[in-house]
Amino acid sequence: MDFRLPRPERSYLVCATPRSGSTLLCRTLAGLGSAGVPEEYFEARAETGAPRRPSDHLRGANDLYLPALLSSDDPPEAPPYSALRAGEDYSEHLRRTFERGTTQNGVFGAKLMWTHLEDFLPLARRLPQLAGAPLGVVLRWLFGDARYVWVSRRDRVRQAASLWRAIQTQAWRAGQEGAPAAEPRYSFAAIDHLLHRLAGHERAWLRCFAHERIEPLRLWYEDIAADLAGAVAAALRHIDLPLASSDELSAPTRRQADELSDAWVERYARERGALCTASK
């Protein structure tokens, strides 16, 4: 087996947590045709070859009844860019990833959630060159001197509420086709669990960047939503690519937040406040 990979000339990774605006940013960058095609190439679980099941997001929750609120716990259908093929060597998935994610100018982009590392690292370490390698070595061997863009959300309660809604409906962006018809239900326990989980993943990214001496470009959901062109321009400067004209920029997704999201956030704040008062 030839384990040499046709690695791209220039790479960047968008590091994020769910519902942070990373999809809006990545799809806009992909639409430029010169900034790679950043997708979640490493989202598949090793045991299923598909993205996470809804209940995977609830692991460690104190409320054991939360999975009962899910209408289904089947893993989502794996998109072509991230699906792992049964019995295939992981180097083949990496070859497809580099081919799909690289634009003609040699720029490769990918989006990486902290949860992806749970499967991505063991799979990458199956390559002889990376057996037992720490995260930093894996990233440098695969992506070279990559640039990093760190996407976060200031309003983490709203982020957690949005994530809980998406987990239930499996509609991860507005207008998504084929999402199951499921009426999302409010759960304080679920939102609270996801809030702490998201905070933990943000701290993990921070430790990773500090340990590897990576200086990422920090972008916030609220700023991306308010000024997409400005966020894209900042990302392109960080990647060292020419700035795009305003005619090249378009928002390929729209916000999913609505009155239901607002109601959930307000209800969570009331119930959290009541708990804090009762504990005094």
Q: Amino acid identity of 59?
A: R
- Beta-bridge partners for 108: 11, 102
CA distance to 8, 129, 174, 253, per residue, from 4 (Å): 12, 10, 39, 37
CA distance to 47, 50, 153, 192, per residue, from 199 (Å): 27, 25, 10, 11
Strands 107-113 and 10-16: parallel
Q: List Cβ neighbours of 248 (8 Å cut-off, separation of 6 or more).
A: 31, 32
Q: Is the dihedral of CA 192, 26, 216, 80 positive or negative?
A: positive
Q: Please calculate the CA angle 25-203-53 and round it to the nearest 5 degrees.
A: 65
Q: Please calculate the CA angle 182-55-276 and round it to the nearest 5 degrees.
A: 90
By annotation, the residues acting in catalysis are 40
Q: List Cβ neighbours of 97 (8 Å cut-off, separation of 6 or more).
A: 41, 42, 81, 110
With H, G, I as helix, E, B as strand and everything else as coil, classify residue 16.
strand
- Tokens standing for residue 278: 């009762």
